[in-house]
Amino acid sequence: MPIEFEIPKPLTQAQFMLKTVSEEMIRPKSRYFDEHEHEIPWDYIEFMHSAMRAMGGSSLAPRDESPSPNRRGDRGEGKRPPIGYQLIAAQIESLAYGDLGFYHCLPGGGLGAAAVYAAGTPEQKEKFLARFMDEKPTFAAMCITESGAGSDNSAICTRAVLDEKTNQWVINGEKIFVTGGDKSFTEYEKLGKGFIVVWATIDPTAGRAGMRAFVVESGTPGVKITKLEHKLGIRVSDTAAISLVDARVPFDNILGSATVEKSTSGFKGAMATFDATRPLVAASGVGVARAALEFLKEKLAENGVKIRYGLPRQKLSNIEREVIDMEIMLKSAWLMVIKATWMADNKKPNALEASMSKVKSGDVTTKITQKVVEILGPLGYSREFLAEKWMRDAKITDIYEGTGQINRLVVARQILGYSGAELR
């Protein structure tokens, strides 16, 4: 397959538009929502929803790129390779450049839709994903983490039992740290009917093979938001704890098969979700790091410090070397994102590259934002500017969707050919 180095036009267009949104709409509100945790940025949500609807898309899952007789490229003239995930990564990077927390407030399916996309049947995708194009902004979230199951999410205790009389699943358990859990589950007047995807076991004796995901519609009786976390960063994004007590969902809301086989099919569904979303988390980190680095360069320029590209390294000042090194780190993190999303777009197994991109970006993002605060000194530490906030926001990219350590383990297993049980 030929590799093209030219950035596809839809990507550059999206980046151009979202740069304006980031700078004009998001940045001016960043500090307010950082200081007013748990307030919901309704103006932004409604604006973004209308804009996305007008452009014909609104979910983390890429649009269907199967051949269509009406599409120019598909009739044979200059057919463009699929770019769904690459486009989403570029959009996310551009929004996170505005504010990482605001990116999480983008209406649409988020991780919930990604799980449906990865583990659902074509009928389930049709049924559960269509709502994100409706008139009202709508959210979905994914709940896998529990107090005893984070990095090792195959240890989940949430239980789903089939009630054969009613043909409903009855779910009991406690989920924590659910991004967007409140906007996805609470029935706000301004929002459409969202859902949460809850990972549970249908057979505790079967380990990973018994894990399944269930779509739980907003407002389902027995389900409660029990807490909204107070966080170090991304404070505009709600992070919920959710309890499920005898919550009933229809039989067809199970994603994938209801029969437990010896294979680890349920767990594979969770992993397939992460293969799709880890490069996107990596993209979001790159956006934050770029914001910090650009801000630093702007401040340096205001103070007469120019970066003299092209000089031998020993002739550069220490700050020039630091800036150039950060630019190299940032570019290499972005190239990993492009590779992992390009593979997803071309339906190539990308577990290795997805985790590599996440590790790389998590490292680079935390290092760059910290270095920027360090170089700016008091200006970096002051709440007058956003540099200190970007440093706080950045750390999460190294924690959720698999910590840096866990993704390093995944990389090692993939390269050395070890199973999870052999290398942990």
Ligand X SMILES: Cc1cc2nc3c(=O)[nH]c(=O)nc-3n(C[C@H](O)[C@H](O)[C@H](O)COP(=O)(O)OP(=O)(O)OC[C@H]3O[C@@H](n4cnc5c(N)ncnc54)[C@H](O)[C@@H]3O)c2cc1C
Where do the H-state alpha helices sit in 187-256? none
Distance CA(134)–CA(122), nearest Å, equals 19
The residues that are catalytic are: 401
Cβ closest to ligand X, residue 147 vs residue 382: 147
Report the 10 Å Cβ neighbour count for 7: 13
- Restricting to residues 288-347, which ones interact with ligand X according to CB under 6 A? none
Among 65-73, 145-153, 329-337, 356-364, the segment contacting ligand X (CB under 6 A): 145-153
| Shortest Å, Cβ 201 to ligand X | 15
First to last CA, the chain: 35
Cβ closest to ligand X, residue 82 vs residue 256: 256
The answer to whether residues 214 and 242 touch, using CB atoms and an 8 Å cutoff, is no
Distance CA(424)–CA(420), nearest Å, equals 6
Cβ closest to ligand X, residue 86 vs residue 239: 239
Q: Which of 226, 222, 231, 230 is nearest to 241 (CA)?
A: 226
Is residue 400 involved in binding ligand X (CB under 6 A)?
yes
Distance CA(198)–CA(370), nearest Å, equals 35
Q: Which of 61, 96, 100, 142 binds ligand X (CB under 6 A)?
A: 142
Distance CA(196)–CA(143), nearest Å, equals 7
Among 69-77, 298-306, 381-389, 396-404, the segment contacting ligand X (CB under 6 A): 396-404
Structural Rg of the chain based on CA atoms: 22
| Shortest Å, Cβ 179 to ligand X | 3
Is residue 201 involved in binding ligand X (CB under 6 A)?
no
SS3 of 243, please? Answer: strand
Is residue 121 involved in binding ligand X (CB under 6 A)?
no
User: How many chain residues are in contact with ligand X, going by CB under 6 A?
Assistant: 23
The answer to whether residues 214 and 198 touch, using CB atoms and an 8 Å cutoff, is yes
Cβ closest to ligand X, residue 309 vs residue 418: 418
Distance CA(157)–CA(212), nearest Å, equals 12
Is residue 228 involved in binding ligand X (CB under 6 A)?
no
Is residue 111 involved in binding ligand X (CB under 6 A)?
yes
Is residue 156 involved in binding ligand X (CB under 6 A)?
no
By residue count, the chain amounts to 424
| Shortest Å, Cβ 176 to ligand X | 7
| Shortest Å, Cβ 104 to ligand X | 9
- Restricting to residues 11-40, which ones interact with ligand X according to CB under 6 A? none
Is residue 396 involved in binding ligand X (CB under 6 A)?
yes
Distance CA(329)–CA(323), nearest Å, equals 10
Q: Which of 45, 178, 307, 410 binds ligand X (CB under 6 A)?
A: 178
Task: Give the C-alpha distances (Å, rounded to integers) separating 120 from 125, 197, 234, 256.
Answer: 6, 11, 30, 6
Q: Which of 98, 107, 150, 362 binds ligand X (CB under 6 A)?
A: 150
Is residue 179 involved in binding ligand X (CB under 6 A)?
yes
**Residues in contact with 249: Cβ distance below 8 Å, sequence separation at least 6, in sequence order:** 168, 169, 171, 214, 215, 216, 217, 220
Cβ closest to ligand X, residue 320 vs residue 401: 401
Residues that bind ligand X (CB under 6 A): 111, 141-145, 150-151, 177-179, 231, 239, 396, 399-403, 405-406, 409, 424
